[in-house]
C-alpha cells in the first residue's frame, strides 16, 4: 500500500525547493498531480486530499508538519521532469496605479487590503496578476484614515482602467449554522421545534455562511472575515456520549477553510450524501444514529485551530418526545469558548498545540475526556468519578509527602523537606514515587484512549518532543487534573521503590550544573526511555511540555494571547505582611526592572486592583477556606479576608490591560484547586484577567519565592510565553535539586505573552 504521507511530503519538498513548481501546484493541483503520475511518481487519492488543503498562506506550516516525518535523505531532489504545461505559472505584472483603481472601486478588496495587504496581493496573484515589490511598498501608505486623500495621488482617471478580475471574489456572510437532516432526505433541514425520531439514521450538519432558517444554534456566532488569518483551516470534530446520540467512527472529523474573501469551503468532507457538489463544498455532514428509547440526548461539536480547542458546542436533541412548552427540541449552544469571534491575531498567538483535552461531567457519575491532537488524532474516554478522584488525590498526596513528609493536609508544625537540602537519595526517592503515581494516572487515561486495537505508546510517540498541551476547563468543572504530574515513560509498575533508579543522564547533568532544558532527556530523546526500571524527570509532562488550563466563562471576552506593554512591564503586588521571607523576595523582584505598586492591607489591595494597569497582578498571600468559601489573606494578621465576591462589589474589571494574576498562597489550609476554581473564574469572568496561576497544594515560602522569581524573570523580562516560563521555572527548581515546581497550575492559555 502506498504511503500517502510520504507522497505528500515528497511533493511539498519539491515545492519548497522549486518556486516555479510551487506556483504550478497552487495554480493547477489536478493537472500537476497528473503530470507527476505521468512522470512515474505515484500519487494516491489520500495524498491528493492532503495537498488540496495546502495554499500559499499555509504552505510553510504544512511543509514542516508533513515533511518533518521523514529524513532529508528520504526526500528526493531534484524535481522530476514534468510534461505538459511549463512549470512557470503565467502571471501578468500590473502597476500600483492599476491596483489602486481596484481598491477604489471594490469595497471588499479594500477591506481585505486594510486588514492584511499581503493577502490582498495574494488574491490578485491567484487571479493571475502580480505587483513588483516597489509598487507593493508604495501602496502600504494607504490606511482607512488617509485613503480618500492618498488614493488620488495613486490613481489617474485619464488612464483607461483595467477591469477588476472576476476571480477576486467578495466576502460573504459567515454565521455558524448547525442542524439535523434525515439520511433519507439530506437536503431537507429538520425543524428545530420537532424531536428526532427514535432509532433513526440522520445527519448532523455544520455550515458557515448566511443565517440558515433550519439552523438550531441558540446564538448566531459569526466568523468575521477581517479577523481570521488568511485561508485559515479549522477542524470541526464531533464527540458523543455513552448511550446517547451515536456518531460514526472515522466519520467524525471535517475541515473547513476560511479564505480572506468568498465562501467558506469544505476541504475535508465527512459523509457525502446525494446533495450535489455545491452543497458538499460548503456543508459538513456527520452521520448520527438516535437511540431506540425516547429521551433527551447530546453530542459535542468542537472547533479546533492548530489543535487548540477554541469553541465547544453542546448539542441537545429531544428524541421521540416533545420538548416542554416554548422550548425547541433541537438546540446547539456554545458553552466553552476561548474565542467568540475567532480573532485571527488571537488564534495565531495560541501557537501549535500537540494535544487538547476537554473534561465533561457525564451522567451516572462519570467524566468524559475529549482528546484531539496532531495528525487528526481524536478519541474520547469515560472514567468513573471515584476512579478519577482517587488518581487525582494520589498524585497530590505525593506532592505533600515530598513537601512536608506525609500525605495529610498541611499544619503549621510540619517542616519543609527541601529547605536548602541537596540530597540525591531524597530527590531520587521522591521522583520515583512521583513517577509511580503519575504513571498510574497516565495509564488510567491513556490505555482506554488507545481503543480496542490500538497501541498506546505508538499513539503517544508524537508527544515525546517538548510541545504544548491544552486542558479546556469550564467554570462548571468539578475536577482539576494535575497534568504536570502525568508520567508517560515506560514504568514497571508494581516493583518496589528500591528496584528503580534515576536516569544517569539526568543525574550527571544535575551534578555538573548542565542546563537541563538543553539535555537530550528534556528534548524528548532520553537514552534510558525504554528501560522501565529507570525514572527520568523528563517523563513528567510538567518538566517536558508547556501546559495551560485556560478557564472560560460566558461573561469573559475572548481569552487573550498577548498583554500589551509600554517601556517596561509593571506589577501590582498584594502581600501578607507577616511572611518572614518577604523582604528578600521583594528585593529580587524589584531587581527585575519592572514598574511596581504594592498594597499591604486588604482594602488597599482592592483599591490597587481597581486602578491598576499592570501586566502582572501578584498575590504573595496566606489563604484558606471558611464554610466552603475560599479567601485570600493579605495585610497583617487580623485584617479582613479578600473573597471572590469583592471583585464584583468593587467593580474591578480590567479593560485597557488584562493582566496575568499569580496567586502564590503560602501556608493555606483546606484549599484544593477545585475549591478555588470559582475564585479563578471570577478573576477571568468578572475582572477579565488574562488568566491565573495557582497551586495544587499549599506551599512553603521557600517554594513560593524561588518559583515566582524565576517565572517573572522569564515572563516579564525575557518575554517568554506563560507555558514556557512555567516550565522554565519548574526546571530551574529541579536544577536546584527540588522537584516541587510541579505544584503550580497555569489556568491560562499557554501561549500568553507580553508584547
Per-residue pLDDT of 249-292, as tens digits, reads 889 999 998 876 667 889 999 999 999 888 999 999 999 999 99
| Mean pLDDT confidence for 209-232 | 73
pLDDT of amino acid 89:
44
pTM value is 0.66
- Residue 33 half-sphere exposure, CB side, CA atoms within 13 Å? 18
Beta bridge partners of 380: 370
Other Cβ atoms within 10 Å of 82 Cβ, number = 19
Residue 713: DSSP 8-state: I
In contact, 489 and 502? CB cutoff 8 Å: no
Beta bridge partners of 333: 314
Which cell goes with 588?
529580587
Whether the link from the prior residue into 78 is cis, omega within 30° of 0, is yes
Tell me where in the chain the CATH 3.40.50 domain(s) lie: 549-754
* Degrees to nearest 5, angle at CA 380 with 379 and 385: 155
In contact, 634 and 601? CB cutoff 8 Å: yes
Query: Using CA atoms, how far apart are residues 629 and 646, in angstroms rounded to an integer?
Result: 12
pLDDT of amino acid 224:
52
User: pLDDT tens, 56-94?
Assistant: 666 776 777 777 777 776 777 677 777 654 444 455 778
Going by pLDDT thresholds of 50, 70 and 90, the confidence category of residue 187 is: very high
| Highest mean pLDDT (candidates 263-267, 312-316, 506-510, 747-751) | 506-510
Which cell goes with 443?
495509564
User: pLDDT tens, 553-595?
Assistant: 665 666 777 898 878 899 999 999 999 999 999 999 999 989 9
For the range 16-20, what are the long-range contacts, defined as Cβ-Cβ under 8 Å and sequence gap of 24 or more?
16/59, 16/63, 16/67, 17/77, 17/78, 17/79, 18/78, 18/79, 18/87, 20/87, 20/88, 20/89
Judged by DSSP in three states, 59 sits in helix
Q: Which residues touch 553 (CB under 8 Å, ≥6 apart)?
A: 474, 475, 681, 684, 685
Domain 549-754 has CATH 3.30.70: no
Phi/psi zone of residue 352: left (φ > 0), alpha (ψ -120 to 50 degrees), beta? beta
Strands 691-695 and 744-747: antiparallel
Judged by DSSP in three states, 630 sits in strand
Where do the DSSP E strands lie in 308-376? 308-319, 330-337, 355-361, 366-373
What is 273-323 written as a DSSP string?
Answer: -SS-HHHHTTEEEEEEE--SS-EEEEEEEEEEETTEEEEEEEEEEEESSPP
Other Cβ atoms within 10 Å of 211 Cβ, number = 12
Which strand (E) or helix (H) includes residue 572?
strand 570-575
Other Cβ atoms within 10 Å of 17 Cβ, number = 14
| Phi, psi dihedrals of residue 521, rounded to the nearest 5° | -55, -50
Amino acid at each position: 500500500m502506498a504511503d500517502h504521507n510520504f507522497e505528500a511530503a515528497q511533493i511539498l519538498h519539491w515545492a519548497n525547493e522549486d518556486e516555479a513548481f510551487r506556483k504550478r501546484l497552487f495554480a493547477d493541483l489536478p493537472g500537476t498531480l497528473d503530470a507527476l503520475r505521468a512522470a512515474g511518481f505515484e500519487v494516491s487519492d489520500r495524498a491528493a486530499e492532503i495537498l488540496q488543503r495546502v495554499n500559499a498562506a499555509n504552505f510553510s506550516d504544512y511543509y514542516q508538519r508533513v515533511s518533518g516525518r521523514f529524513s532529508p535523505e528520504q526526500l528526493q531532489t531534484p524535481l522530476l521532469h514534468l510534461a505538459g504545461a511549463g512549470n512557470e505559472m503565467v502571471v501578468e505584472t500590473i502597476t500600483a496605479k492599476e491596483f489602486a483603481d481596484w481598491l477604489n472601486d471594490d469595497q471588499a478588496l479594500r477591506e481585505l487590503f486594510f486588514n492584511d495587504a499581503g493577502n490582498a496581493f495574494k488574491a490578485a496573484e491567484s487571479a493571475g496578476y502580480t505587483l513588483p515589490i516597489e509598487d507593493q511598498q508604495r501602496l502600504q501608505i494607504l490606511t482607512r484614515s488617509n485613503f480618500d486623500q492618498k488614493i488620488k495621488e495613486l490613481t489617474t482617471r485619464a488612464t483607461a482602467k483595467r477591469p477588476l478580475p472576476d476571480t477576486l471574489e467578495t466576502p460573504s456572510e459567515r454565521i455558524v449554522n448547525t442542524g439535523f437532516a434525515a439520511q433519507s432526505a439530506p437536503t431537507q433541514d429538520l425543524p428545530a421545534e420537532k424531536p428526532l425520531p427514535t432509532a433513526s439514521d440522520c445527519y448532523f450538519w455544520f455550515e458557515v455562511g448566511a443565517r440558515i432558517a433550519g439552523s438550531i444554534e441558540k446564538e448566531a456566532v459569526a466568523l468575521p472575515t477581517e479577523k481570521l488569518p488568511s485561508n485559515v483551516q479549522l477542524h470541526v470534530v464531533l464527540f458523543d456520549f455513552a448511550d446517547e446520540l451515536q456518531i460514526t467512527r472515522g466519520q467524525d472529523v471535517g475541515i473547513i477553510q476560511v479564505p480572506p474573501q468568498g465562501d467558506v469551503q469544505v476541504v475535508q468532507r465527512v459523509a457525502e450524501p446525494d446533495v450535489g457538489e455545491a452543497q458538499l463544498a460548503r456543508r459538513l455532514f456527520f452521520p448520527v444514529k438516535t437511540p431506540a428509547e425516547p429521551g433527551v440526548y447530546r453530542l459535542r461539536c468542537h472547533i479546533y485551530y492548530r489543535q487548540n480547542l477554541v469553541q465547544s458546542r453542546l448539542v441537545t436533541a429531544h428524541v421521540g418526545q416533545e420538548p416542554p412548552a416554548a422550548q425547541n427540541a433541537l438546540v446547539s449552544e456554545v458553552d466553552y469558548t476561548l474565542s467568540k469571534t475567532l480573532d485571527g491575531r488571537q488564534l495565531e498567538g495560541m501557537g501549535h498545540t500537540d494535544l487538547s483535552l476537554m473534561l465533561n461531567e457525564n451522567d451516572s457519575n462519570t467524566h468524559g475526556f475529549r482528546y484531539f491532537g496532531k495528525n487528526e488524532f481524536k478519541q474520547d474516554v469515560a472514567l468513573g468519578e471515584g476512579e478519577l478522584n482517587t488518581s487525582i488525590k494520589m498524585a497530590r498526596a505525593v506532592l505533600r509527602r515530598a513537601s512536608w513528609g506525609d500525605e495529610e493536609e498541611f499544619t503549621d508544625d510540619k517542616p519543609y523537606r527541601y529547605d536548602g537540602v541537596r540530597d540525591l537519595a531524597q530527590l531520587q526517592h521522591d521522583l520515583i514515587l512521583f513517577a509511580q503515581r503519575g504513571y498510574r494516572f497516565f495509564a488510567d487515561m491513556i490505555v482506554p484512549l488507545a481503543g480496542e486495537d490500538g497501541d498506546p505508546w505508538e499513539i503517544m510517540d508524537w508527544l515525546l518532543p517538548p510541545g504544548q498541551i491544552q486542558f479546556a476547563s469550564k467554570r462548571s468543572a468539578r475536577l482539576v487534573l494535575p497534568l504536570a504530574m502525568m508520567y508517560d515513560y515506560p514504568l514497571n509498575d508494581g516493583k518496589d521503590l528500591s528496584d528503580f533508579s534515576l536516569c544517569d543522564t539526568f543525574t550527571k547533568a544535575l551534578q555538573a550544573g548542565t542546563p537541563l532544558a538543553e539535555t537530550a532527556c528534556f528534548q524528548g530523546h532520553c537514552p534510558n526511555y525504554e528501560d522501565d526500571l529507570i525514572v527520568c524527570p523528563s517523563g513528567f509532562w510538567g518538566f517536558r511540555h508547556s501546559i495551560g488550563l485556560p478557564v472560560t466563562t460566558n461573561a469573559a471576552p475572548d481569552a487573550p494571547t498577548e498583554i500589551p506593554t509600554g517601556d517596561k512591564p509593571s506589577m501590582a503586588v498584594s502581600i501578607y505582611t507577616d511572611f518572614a521571607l518577604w523582604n528578600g523576595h521583594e528585593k529580587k523582584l524589584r531587581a527585575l526592572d519592572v514598574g511596581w505598586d504594592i498594597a499591604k492591607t486588604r482594602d488597599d489591595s482592592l483599591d490597587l486592583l481597581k486602578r491598576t494597569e499592570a501586566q502582572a497582578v501578584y498575590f504573595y498571600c496566606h489563604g484558606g477556606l471558611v464554610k466552603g468559601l475560599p479567601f485570600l489573606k493579605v495585610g497583617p494578621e487580623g485584617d479582613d479576608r479578600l473573597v471572590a465576591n469583592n471583585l464584583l462589589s468593587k467593580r474591578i474589571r480590567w479593560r485597557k490591560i488584562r493582566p496575568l494574576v499569580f496567586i502564590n498562597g503560602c501556608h493555606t489550609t483546606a484549599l484544593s484547586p477545585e475549591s478555588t476554581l470559582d475564585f479563578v473564574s471570577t478573576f477571568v469572568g468578572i475582572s477579565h484577567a488574562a488568566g491565573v496561576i495557582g497551586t495544587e497544594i499549599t506551599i512553603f515560602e521557600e517554594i513560593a519565592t524561588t518559583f515566582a522569581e524565576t517565572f517573572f524573570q522569564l515572563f516579564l523580562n525575557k518575554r517568554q510565553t506563560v507555558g514556557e516560563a512555567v516550565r522554565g521555572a519548574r526546571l530551574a527548581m529541579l536544577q536546584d535539586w527540588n522537584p516541587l515546581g510541579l505544584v503550580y497550575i497555569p489556568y491560562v492559555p499557554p501561549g500568553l505573552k507580553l508584547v
